Structure formats: structure tokens, C-alpha cells
């Protein structure tokens, strides 16, 4: 099973600032990576899949970089609705596996 490790566990950012979240896979996942946004009590939301393809309705302030085993999600200018937990997921190997999440909180 591919182990996904996210860092940091918590990120404190002011509205309007940039947030950078990291995700590391225990082996090469060939860019088969997705990111989700989740506010507890709500449905998780797919942000990006295929390492860099934004899902429908996801604004351009969300972008992903990286390859192999190291990936980064960047939110260029945090809006109020962006404060949430972010999960990365690999789907190169079965079963798909998720990271433990990064909580983005208001500084």
C-alpha cells in the first residue's frame, strides 16, 4: 500500500496570503494524484486530479506542482471559504490511499 504523508499538519495563514501544502508518496505515483477540500460536517470536494487538472468550478488560485513522489498544492490568495482541511490521494496503485490532511486555519 502506498503511504501518503502530508505536511505540515496545520498551517496558519492570513486571508489574502499564499498557502503551500506538501504531499509525499512512499513510491512513484506517476502523477496519479488528487487533492480534496473538506470542511467537517460537509461533503469533501474534489479540487484537482491527474496532478494538475482542476475539477469543474475550482478557481485558478488552486495549482499543483511536482512529480514522482513529491507534490505541492498552492493556494495563491486565501479566501474565507478556503480555510479547511486538505487531503491528497494517490490512485496509481490499488487501493487508493489518502494523506492525513493539512488543516489550513486563519492566522
Q: Name which of residues 33 to 62 contact another protein (CB under 8 A).
A: 34, 41-46, 49, 55-56
Nearer to another protein, 37 or 107 (CB): 37
Q: Largest Cα–Cα distance of the chain, in whole Å?
A: 38
Tell me if 9 contacts another protein by CB under 8 A.
no
Does residue number 69 form part of the binding site for another protein (CB under 8 A)? no
How far is the C-alpha of 19 from the C-alpha of 12, rounded, in Å?
9
Closer residue to another protein (CB): 83 or 102: 102
The reply on whether position 102 binds another protein by CB under 8 A is no
Are the beta carbons of 89 and 95 closer than 8 angstroms?
Answer: no
Q: Which residues lie across from 49 on neighbouring strands?
A: 53
Amino acid at each position: 500500500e502506498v503511504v501518503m504523508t502530508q505536511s505540515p499538519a496545520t498551517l496558519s495563514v492570513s486571508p489574502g496570503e499564499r498557502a503551500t501544502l506538501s504531499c509525499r508518496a512512499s513510491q512513484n505515483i506517476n502523477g496519479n494524484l488528487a487533492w480534496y477540500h473538506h470542511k467537517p460536517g460537509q461533503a469533501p470536494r474534489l479540487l484537482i486530479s491527474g496532478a494538475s487538472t482542476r475539477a469543474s468550478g475550482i478557481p485558478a488560485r488552486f495549482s499543483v506542482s511536482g512529480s514522482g513522489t513529491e507534490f505541492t498544492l498552492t493556494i495563491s490568495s486565501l479566501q474565507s471559504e478556503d480555510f479547511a482541511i486538505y487531503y491528497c490521494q494517490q490512485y496509481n496503485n490499488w487501493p487508493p490511499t489518502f494523506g492525513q490532511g493539512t488543516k489550513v486555519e486563519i492566522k
